């Protein structure tokens, strides 16, 4: 007889009370005499009883689960260092509250919409974690239409009825550009990520602004965040009439691919070309040269997002949270330019 087989009735019988009382006691609700409550709790512990969430959800209309739907082209499926740590952060919050994460990976927008609908219609989850937010993200409306809840990583331009988790990247970008300018760079390019994505766009804009403020002309090559396009963009830049002496990549995987291209052409890094990533990643510490980047603490995002969403779901209290600003991590991939 595994713990899975013991029900509220067994506890009630063991404690010599009705199952209604057991429910009250276990959920910490008032109206149970102190000694009965203790007797019930003892019996439950003894038997190793844990309430069946499905049965529970049937009356409480909760799933005791949160949903994360990742849209990823099969081609770029593996590269994002953000998610593993993000999910780990989410988990630390969920596990201590007996909740669970339902993860779905879909290849395109169509499958994505179906996935939201299915999880919501089947009452599989109480709310969604919205990552990789697009500038004008249709998922906000989707979730509302399906009568579910959500929290978004980043602030949708159209506003959102749901809590919004943000982290200031502007200061970090400024710092990063200042760092490169301080080293003597003047021709600095930005291989931006998918500009339909909010953080991709935002970073690009701030980069341009920072460059203009320094009286310089920002060069931008947009990509889809994949290392493949990161490599392509690098070739384009290095082939141009006035190649940059420093390149800021939209994420670390693209920066690594960019390094590959530079090495291949016999450039010595960082002297012939300074390179930075964005968002930080573990592997960036172990490549050569070690990668200058902006730290992003994915686990922190996960903790904040799960906490905010649970709070909304359980108490109807939407509360935005602003995470500490991204910090510049200077490593060995940036140095004064050797040519001008």
Partner DNA sequence: TTGAAAGCGTTACCAC
Partner DNA sequence: GTGGTAACGCTTTCAA
Which 160-199 residues touch DNA, going by CB under 7 A? none
Three-class secondary structure of residue 180 per DSSP: helix
161 binds a copy of itself (CB under 8 A): no
Partner whose footprint covers residue 36, from DNA, a copy of itself, none (CB < 5 to 8 Å by kind): DNA
Contact 64, 125 (CB under 8 A): no
Residue with token string 């002309």 = 217
Identify what 76 binds: a copy of itself, DNA, none; CB under 5 to 8 Å per kind: a copy of itself
State which residue, 125 or 189, has the beta carbon closest to a copy of itself.
125
Residues 6+ apart with CB under 8 A from 327: 172, 294, 295
Partner from a copy of itself, DNA, none binding residue 32, C-beta < 5-8 Å depending on class: DNA
Binds a copy of itself by CB under 8 A, chosen from 10, 13, 41, 118: 118
Binding region for DNA (CB under 7 A) out of 20-28, 78-86, 98-106, 238-246: 20-28
Contacted entry of a copy of itself, DNA, none for residue 236, CB cut-off 5 to 8 Å set by kind = none
29 versus 268: smaller Cβ distance to DNA:
29
Cβ count near 94 (within 10 Å): 21
Q: Which helix H or strand E contains 258, and what residues bound it?
A: helix 252-264
Position 30 contacts DNA (CB under 7 A): yes
* Window 226 to 285, contacts with a copy of itself (CB under 8 A): 227-228, 230-231, 253, 256-257, 259-264, 281-283, 285
Alpha helices in 79-151 (DSSP H): 82-95, 109-121, 138-145
Told to check if 157 binds DNA by CB under 7 A, we report: no
Q: Across the chain, which distance is largest between two alpha carbons, in Å?
A: 86
Give one word for 16, left, alpha or beta, with left for phi > 0 and alpha for psi -120 to 50.
Answer: left
Q: How far apart are CA 337 and CA 245, in angstroms?
A: 6
* Mask for 31-60, x = binds DNA (CB under 7 A): xxx--xx-----------xxxx--xx-xxx
The C-alpha atoms of residue 249 and residue 192 are separated, in whole angstroms, by 6
**Would you tell me which residues interact with DNA (CB under 7 A)?**
5, 7-9, 16-24, 26-27, 29-33, 36-37, 49-52, 55-56, 58-60
């Amino acid at each position: 007889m595994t713990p899975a087989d013991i029900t509220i009735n067994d506890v009630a019988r063991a404690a010599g009370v009705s199952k209604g009382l057991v429910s009250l006691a276990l959920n910490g609700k008032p109206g149970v005499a102190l000694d009965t409550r203790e007797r019930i709790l003892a019996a439950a512990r003894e038997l190793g009883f844990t309430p069946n969430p499905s049965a529970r959800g049937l009356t409480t209309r909760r799933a005791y689960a949160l949903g994360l739907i990742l849209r990823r082209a099969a081609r770029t499926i593996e590269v994002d260092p953000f998610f593993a740590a993000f999910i780990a952060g989410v988990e630390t919050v969920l596990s201590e509250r007996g909740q669970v994460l339902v993860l779905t990976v879909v290849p395109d927008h169509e499958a994505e919409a179906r996935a939201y609908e299915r999880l919501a219609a089947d009452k599989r989850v109480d709310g969604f974690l919205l990552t990789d937010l697009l500038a004008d993200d249709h998922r906000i409306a989707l979730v509302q239409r399906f009568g579910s809840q959500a929290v978004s990583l980043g602030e949708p331009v159209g506003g959102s009825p749901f809590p919004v988790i943000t982290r200031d990247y502007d200061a970090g970008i400024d710092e990063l550009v200042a760092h490169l300018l301080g080293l003597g760079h003047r021709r600095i390019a930005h291989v931006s990520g998918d500009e339909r994505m909010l953080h991709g766009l935002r970073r690009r804009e701030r980069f341009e602004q920072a460059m203009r403020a320094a009286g310089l002309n920002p060069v931008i090559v947009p990509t889809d965040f994949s290392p493949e396009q990161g490599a392509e963009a690098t070739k384009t830049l290095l082939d141009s009439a006035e190649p940059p002496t420093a390149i800021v990549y939209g994420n670390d995987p693209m920066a690594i691919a960019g390094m590959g291209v530079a090495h291949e052409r016999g450039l010595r890094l960082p002297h012939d070309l300074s390179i930075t990533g964005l968002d930080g990643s573990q592997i960036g510490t172990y490549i050569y040269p070690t990668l200058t980047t902006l730290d992003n603490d994915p686990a922190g995002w996960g903790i904040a997002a799960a906490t905010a969403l649970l709070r909304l779901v359980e108490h109807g209290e939407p509360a935005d949270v602003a995470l500490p600003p991204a910090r510049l991590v200077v490593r060995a991939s940036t140095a004064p330019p050797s040519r001008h």
